[in-house]
Amino acid sequence: MTEIKKIAVLGAGLMGHGIAQVAAQTGKYEVNLRDIEQRFIDGGMGMIRESLQRFVKKGQLAEPEMNVVLGRIHPILDLEQAVCDADLVIEAVPENVELKKTMARETDGSAPAHAIIASNTSSVSITEIASATKRPEKVCGMHFFNPPQLMKLIEVIRGARTSDETLQTVLDVAHRMEKETVVVKKDCPGFIVNRILIPALNEAVAIYWEGIADRDDIDKAVKLGLNWPMGPLMLLDYVGSDTTLAIAEVLTRELDPKFHPTNGLRQMAKAQLLGRKTGKGFYDWTQK
């Protein structure tokens, strides 16, 4: 079985920086954090520092240990340099199938032969991503949830040709990061969580957009009536209306028209009302 010593995370954005932090902080792995522009890397490292400082303020992390964690994370612009010595590569680029296949193909050409390629995709077929490589048996899904520093679950998804060894290695890495895992035995759009969640978020947007209920009452109803820790519209602001729309479109195209995104969701994405990542969505995040 492949021993994982170094992890490369491709993408320093909303998910990527959190995955890199968890790998370095909890998993105690050496981590190469790669993005396509220095400003994205700087932004990701800034978010990691802010997150670690919050742990320090809460007394959950000593300041010297924070510096040790930061020392384990190596910001890199060049893809080949980022993956050439990695044992596990976790791709966390935007939810676009062609972009993910391109990243898999380029990673395959530069990573060591033993390296596993995992995708943090929330909806794209692992089998299709793996088809862009010459090592489909070493490709699987490793779906973290936002924010990765706090959310305990990782969905581990088997592609059509994923080997048992690859699956077990990724499960072991997830457990070293102190995550709970579920295995998706068959590659399917949306996996477990998003196949259930996206219709609920879509309907919450429809109720709001049609003027049936106010934002706060929609979120209050679901929190108290279904015992969710937060309401669907606030959750949508965490996920992003653009990401939610992309997942809904994949589910519609590959599974069933019942997943068709509402016009309200499309309008939110077009208006760049994406939630936390742009500062405004259903809620105003500029003051939070």
Tell whether 131 is covered by a domain. yes
Which of 11, 194, 183, 203 lies closest to 91 in space, CA to CA? 11
Residue 288 has a pLDDT of 55
Q: Distance between CA 112 and CA 215 in Å, rounded? A: 50
Which residue segment(s) compose the domain that 157 sits in? 6-184
- Residues 204 and 179 occupy one common structural domain: no
Residue 147 has a pLDDT of 87
- Residues 40 and 132 occupy one common structural domain: yes
Total structural domains within the chain:
2
The residues facing 73 across adjacent strands are 31
Q: Which pLDDT tens digits describe the chain residue by residue (288 residues)? A: 779 999 999 999 989 999 999 999 999 999 999 999 999 999 999 999 999 999 999 999 999 999 999 999 999 999 999 999 999 999 999 888 999 999 999 999 999 999 999 999 988 899 999 999 999 999 999 999 988 998 999 999 999 999 999 999 999 999 999 999 999 999 998 899 999 999 999 999 999 999 999 999 999 999 999 999 999 999 999 989 998 999 999 899 989 999 999 999 999 999 999 998 899 999 999 985
- Residues 180 and 214 occupy one common structural domain: no
**pTM listed for this prediction:** 0.89
- Residues 163 and 199 occupy one common structural domain: no
Tell whether 153 is covered by a domain. yes
- Residues 170 and 73 occupy one common structural domain: yes
The residues facing 154 across adjacent strands are 144, 181
Q: Which residues are catalytic?
A: 122, 143, 155, 194
What separation in angstroms does the CA of 154 have from each of 83, 91, 122, 126?
A: 22, 14, 11, 15
Specify the residue for token string 């102190």.
Answer: 178
**CATH code of the domain in which 169 resides:** 3.40.50.720
Which of 125, 95, 91 lies closest to 108 in space, CA to CA? 91
The amino acid sitting at 23 is: A
Residue 44 in contact with residue 33, Cβ under 8 Å? Answer: yes
Residue 73 in contact with residue 31, Cβ under 8 Å? Answer: yes
DSSP designation for 134: S
Quick: pLDDT tens for 94-105: 888 999 999 999
- Residues 78 and 119 occupy one common structural domain: yes
- Residues 125 and 163 occupy one common structural domain: yes
Residue 123, classed as helix, strand or coil, is coil
- Burial class of residue 87 in the structure, from the number of CB atoms within 10 Å of its CB (0-12 exposed, 13-18 middle, 19+ buried): buried
